[in-house]
């Protein structure tokens, strides 16, 4: 059963939390980002992923369950440090990085429904620009 829903670029996805592997990140997402309406853009350096930059937003978390290579549908948050705070959703091959170098993102959730539309969403924000995105509780 899914924990939250993502509406992005006309597509709907459902995702599950990984509270056992990233409890601080899940708690911070629920507190600060669940309910967020924003824009998602294509990553600059990381390959095939969507990106929401948050600048100097302090989520009050450190690094946990880190990966530099999130798979399609895996959702990660980089809590800041070498680069700004950011959220990333992979739709293809990803090597998570910034102008400061490779970044380990906290893998805290994974899309479990709608994965067949990830590539189409990625191509949409790549070729058409920023797309609306919303994270909603179920």
What value, to the nearest 5°, has the Cα angle with vertex 60 and ends 57 and 64? 110
Domains observed in the chain: 4-137 (2.40.100.20)
Instruction: Name which of 11, 14, 21 is nearest 124 in CA terms.
Output: 11
pLDDT digits (tens, 9 = 90+) for 31-87: 999 999 999 999 998 999 999 999 999 999 999 999 999 999 999 999 999 999 999
| Residue 121 φ/ψ, nearest 5 degrees | -65, -45
Closest CA to 31 of 5, 7, 59: 59
- pLDDT for the residue 39: 98
Helix (H) or strand (E) holding 27: helix 23-28
Provide the whole-model pTM: 0.96
């Amino acid at each position: 059963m899914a924990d939250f829903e993502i509406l992005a670029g006309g597509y709907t996805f459902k995702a599950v939390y990984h509270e056992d592997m990233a409890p601080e990140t899940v708690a911070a997402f629920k507190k600060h980002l669940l309910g967020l309406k924003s824009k998602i853009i294509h990553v600059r350096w990381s390959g095939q992923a969507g990106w929401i930059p948050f600048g100097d937003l302090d989520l009050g978390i450190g690094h946990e369950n880190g990966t530099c290579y999130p798979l399609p549908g895996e959702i990660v948050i980089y809590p800041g440090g070498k680069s700004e705070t950011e959220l990333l959703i992979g739709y293809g091959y990803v090597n998570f990085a910034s102008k400061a170098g490779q970044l380990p993102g906290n893998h805290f959730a994974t899309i479990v429904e709608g994965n067949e539309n990830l590539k189409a969403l990625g191509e949409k924000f790549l070729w058409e620009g920023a797309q609306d995105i919303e994270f909603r509780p179920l």
